[in-house]
Structure 1
């Protein structure tokens, strides 16, 4: 197929199945690479659109795309999302009976599935179809789990290396939201895709406001924080199971609906809490870090860390569960010295204890920093931000800076002359001219930068170097014994005259210093710019309630109907025709067909007499004119450049409005009778999906709609 035809099909599928008119950064290149059967490593932030990178190619392959996913509990949500978009998908795991598993394998053999989600532990059950006759692509989600350098290492992932040997000509796509340089290299090595194309999207989630506070009187602060954000969904992460339960109980006493979630609960209880949160029935979950991985709930408006996370990767992934729809979100972190001690104890005795401790120290430095927090996050993942973000507590309440350019040049010069092989401690020893055994043994007393900073104390040098790391002027190579290395920003300082702003160390005990800064920050943020509480009769609120009603009828999460971002656009654009509704981002052909009428009707009711007469002729009447000329459904579709399902939707509306339509040319009397029986058994649902499932997906949506138009007219 010519490239132009492939691109046309790609964009048609993107709109039809996912509701988008354009790709995000890197997505199209990744999709095209997979279609060209090239291996890919994709590093893309949570909410950045990773799933489309393998779901869209899956639609164009003849066989099935196997998706390796770490948590069984999340597979159903992911598959439900695909089914809601009209994509044939299923999952295969230990929660299913052998009969159900056999049916799934049969569907793969019969090319009746496009995507199949499976946990690493369940791959053995797919042995008979793990060959290139049936498998067109393999996607490894949460790929950082394969690496011991990663923040969420899982031994079960290490067996995945055999897959490339089994499927040598099949494209592999490994995806993760959080991986530093060491983890990226290890992922490719472990999966045996060393030559994979690497795509690293920006880690900058500008819509998430970042804030850190000292952990004094956390409960009152959290209660006030939540009550200033009524009706918003949020997650509070805690280190221990006990804390999740205690916190949820205290929030309930303050009339805040919250549930505790942790690994100590049985599977059914955890599933119920997770489902209740995803379905918008529970507003807040107090959870250990296991909660949230892979959840696509798009309308989480805030994430609070009751305790400090053990590393920046985990922190970044957890805050990324907020604001996945691109709307404003808030990330609030509480930190304390007690958290650091507890996390050090957790790391003690681990196989990679040194790495864990180094990453914990980096997390602690982030929490105590006087540098733009987004700069620190981005530089950690190798992305350098030249300007401050303006959307964190440090930017909103900046400290006093001085010109630290000469000090920065001394530090960076020392790193360079030590050949980027030494950790922070040795750099400081050389700058201060220390005559210890390690320095003398390596001959560092002979280099030019030895002793050029004798007048500055060891602790002050540490404070200054951490600031350079935070601003991206150098970085820690955790996989090289924590050696400090230069970045592309380093040259600007050493040779191009770039200025560096630093803050002076504060001469008071560490915890008090943090508390003082935290207090100042809280004063600054005491009157945050909050989204005003909407009137109960706003269009957005009415659309949200309609979405919730449909989601309950269909027994799916509300965000699978439409995201908050899509509802916002509907509220803003107020579409009153199928064509206008289809122009909304997040509305594809399938969702127009299933939900369009109800949402347009709600907009019409809201607008009432305010509706202006449309300047253009009603699009359904144009279809009616062509129908009267004897055109077939396919001919009308081609002539009007609209989908056949849209034409059928027009036919149903025209028939319902009293136009002369021979409806039984399009739906049989036996089908109408079957739908009538289903309506009685299903207690007359307005949504189409319950009917679709009632008929085991054998009766098309447009047939159901046509039949209902006949039934309702009788």
Structure 2
């Protein structure tokens, strides 16, 4: 059965009239019994490519997924659409009933973690009834080249190979060329089975700014972006401190999440965030992978992410519903310094790859070109030169040739002994006379006072750039010393171009976009009918004990408010309103619409 033949089932189950992107191609391969690796951006509807076949195929689709929270989130959505689904996890109380339901052929979908999927007990369950499809979600976890390697994923191959006639579908949103090739090999998928849907998330607006006053920058950003959001912080303590500051400054519900909290507290924070329509979580990167919340309106990084792959995945948690979303990264030279120190702790075999990833991040934060284009080129795409929806496209910075100033700065670092911090080096270059400089004789150096006027304000951003480009590194005690790229810059062999820093804009970097109202556009709270529909959604969600978005996405509510359907038949034409949801909740929403 082809994907086109499944269109009526797509409409009745999920409420959609057509497939999006390359969903149809993936579904065609699954229905034909092929082996497939689908690389699709977050929000492109990866789960539909195995949930729809789960309804259409004779048998159960087994989904291997890395996190319990992710499985349970998808479980709620599948059941709300009328799909018979269950999971086998350590926190499921109905373990025996689920196994029996599988044996009896009563399940369409069964979710399981890789650790459990590779055990003998699960193999015995599969022998009792052959699955219709193996779906391996977050498939980049199988590759050592991936940014989130999970050794248990490497043990899946024997299970898959025990059923050579069963199609297998690997899915990921984040995999560069090397990782994609490794996934194909590790999971036994032919090269022609790769379906590469692209990595662009055009609804996300990317912004990067130097970290100057992070709490103030993030406060401005949050005030400008109503709706749920995630703020990633580098440390556990940082999440706690930032949560307190943002809650006080914004008046919004803000909670910290990190691995140091007790399990009950983490579960409560996650539950409250998933159910909220305006909640904020300040978190370490331990948070988010297991959450399929579609209405996250913004993701902010208070520090440098681990890699471009991590950045792409973490920012991809915003705007999964397709509505406008914002991503802000704040960074500093100390981020790169700490990251390079950690490189020395890695095995030799991994060091070159991780250094390349860090350098790619450096290119992203210091570019004056389109950030989206640079991001997409990292994943092997050939995007247009300008996207029109990132900070460098919307407010193009002026590019300055700082090659000579970089030579002066590097010379000052060298002549002061490669042991002093940026503040001391700046004081020497600008001719500041103080006791510390005089005691060391640095006021007698040839570089003393050679930078003045407008050039002086470029020193701090230039230090950040040179650290990002490996011309400068940080010593154990916080001083600056030469990095591997320094000598070529000193000799003038490498030009140094930087973006001209804005004058007195440091406190406003985070919130600049929001004065345009971009973040608010996704939630037209000024519409009284829309507000009433959201209130009904909250009531029904509380009654069903599911997050509001499981009932209907904001996009469906906006369409209801705009089109004002009068009958069930009319309501059934709204995208996202499937037969099961129409039956369960249609009358309640129609009653609200009739009141307006």
**Shared fold by TM > 0.5?**
yes
Instruction: Give the conservation status (yes or no) of the 8 Å contact 2:296–2:317.
Output: yes
* Matching of residue 108 in structure 1 with residue 102 in structure 2: yes
- 1:567-607 per-position Cα deviation (integer Å, ceiling 9, x unaligned): 1211221111112111111001111111111111111102x
Q: Tell me how far 1:249 sits from its aligned partner.
A: 1.4
More displaced, 290-299 or 269-278? Answer: 290-299
Q: Is the 8 A contact 2:68 2:290 kept in 1?
A: no
Q: Residue 354 of structure 1: which of 352, 355, 373 is its match?
A: 352
Is 1:248 paired with 2:239?
no
RMSD: 2.7
Q: Distance in 1 between matches of 2:243 and 2:513?
A: 25
Preserved contact between residue 144 and residue 153 of structure 1 (Cα < 8 Å):
yes
Q: Provide the C-alpha distance between the structure 2 equivalents of 1:92 and 1:578, rounded to a whole number of angstroms.
A: 36
What is residue 528 of structure 1 aligned with on the other side? 516
Q: Give the structure-2-normalised TM-score.
A: 0.79
Alignment of 1:8-407 (within 5 A): 8=5, 10-97=6-93, 100-123=94-117, 124=119, 125-131=121-127, 133-195=129-191, 197-230=193-226, 232-254=227-249, 255-280=251-276, 283-351=279-347, 352-400=350-398
Per-residue CA deviations over 1:103-123 (Å, capped at 9, x if unaligned) read 212111111001100001112
- Which secondary structure does the structure 1 equivalent of 2:297 belong to? strand
CA contact (8 A) 1:277 1:284 kept: yes
Determine which structure has greater relative contact order: mean sequence separation of CA pairs < 8 Å that are 6+ residues apart, divided by chain length: 2
Structure 1 stretch displaced more, 36-45 or 264-273: 264-273
SS in 2 for 1:130: helix
Q: How does 1:418-567 map to 2 (within 5 A)?
A: 505-506=496-497, 525=513, 527-530=515-518, 531=520, 534=524, 538-567=528-557
Q: Distance in 2 between matches of 1:587 and 1:334?
A: 39
> Per the alignment, do residues 172 and 516 of structure 1 end up closer, same or farther by CA in structure 2, a change over 3 Å counting?
farther
Q: 1:631 maps to which residue? A: none
Q: Could you tell me how far 1:387 is from its partner in structure 2?
A: 3.6
Does the C-alpha gap of structure 1 residues 542 and 185 become closer, same or farther in structure 2, counting only changes over 3 Å? same
Q: Retained in 1: the 8 A contact 2:225–2:298?
A: no
Q: Secondary structure at the match of 1:327?
A: coil
> What are the ranges of 5 or more consecutive residues in structure 1 without an aligned counterpart?
403-459, 468-502, 607-714
Task: Tell me, in whole angstroms, the C-alpha distance in 2 between the residues paired with 1:548 and 1:516.
Answer: 43
**Is the contact made by 2:228 and 2:277 (CA closer than 8 Å) also made in structure 1?**
no
Judge conservation of contact 2:293–2:320 (CA < 8 Å) in 1. yes
- After superposition, the Cα gap between the structure-2 partners of 1:218 and 1:174, relative to the gap in structure 1 and judged at 3 Å, is same
Instruction: Write the distance in 1 (CA, Å) between the matches of 2:33 and 2:177.
Output: 25
CA distance, structure 1, for counterparts of residue 185 and residue 502 of structure 2: 41
Over 3 Å counting, the alpha-carbon distance change for 1:388 and 1:537 in structure 2 is closer
Shift of 1:163: 2.0
Instruction: Mark the CA change 1:593 to 1:336 in structure 2 (over 3 Å): closer, same or farther.
Output: same
- TM-superposed CA distance for 1:134, in Å, is 2.4
Residues of 2 paired with 1:288 and 1:400: CA distance? 34
Contact 1:67 1:116 in 2 (8 A): yes
In the alignment, the residues of structure 1 paired with residue 341 and residue 128 of structure 2 have an alpha-carbon distance, to the nearest angstrom, of 47
1:186 deviates by: 0.6
Task: Report if aligned partners of 1:39, 1:195 keep a CA contact under 8 Å in 2.
Answer: no
Partners of 1:247 and 1:236 in 2: CA distance: 9
Checking the alignment, whether the CA contact within 8 Å between 2:221 and 2:510 is kept in structure 1 is no
**Compared with structure 1, are the counterparts of its residues 526 and 587 closer, same or farther at alpha carbon in structure 2 (3 Å cutoff)?**
closer
CA distance in 2, matches of 1:523, 1:535: 20
Shift of residue 342 of structure 1? 2.1
- Cα offset, 1:378, TM superposition: 0.9
Task: Kindly indicate whether the alpha-carbon contact (under 8 Å) linking 1:111 and 1:134 is maintained by their aligned counterparts in 2.
Answer: no
Aligned-partner Cα distance in 1 for 2:501–2:551? 48
Distance 1:91 1:525, change over 3 A: closer
2:576 matched to which residue of 1? 586
In structure 2, relative to structure 1, the CA distance for the partners of 1:535 and 1:563 (3 Å cut) is closer
Q: 1:504 to 1:388 in 2, by over 3 A?
A: farther
Q: Distance in 2 between matches of 1:136 and 1:366?
A: 43
TM-score by length of 1: 0.67
Q: What is the Cα deviation at residue 526 of structure 1?
A: 7.5
Show the counterpart of 2:486: none
For the pair shown, which has the larger CA radius of gyration, 1 or 2?
A: 1
Contact 1:303 1:321 in 2 (8 A): yes
Deviation at 1:552, TM superposition (A): 0.4
Q: Is the 8 A contact 2:220 2:511 kept in 1?
A: no
For the residue of structure 2 that corresponds to 1:135, the secondary structure is coil
Q: Cα offset for 1:398?
A: 1.4
Residue in structure 2 matched with residue 495 of structure 1 by the alignment: none
Is the Cα contact below 8 Å between 1:39 and 1:196 reproduced in 2? no
Which residue of structure 2 aligns with residue 449 of structure 1?
none
Q: Provide closer, same or farther for how the CA distance between residues 569 and 312 of structure 1 changes in structure 2, counting only shifts above 3 A.
A: same
2:42–2:316: 8 Å Cα contact kept in structure 1?
yes
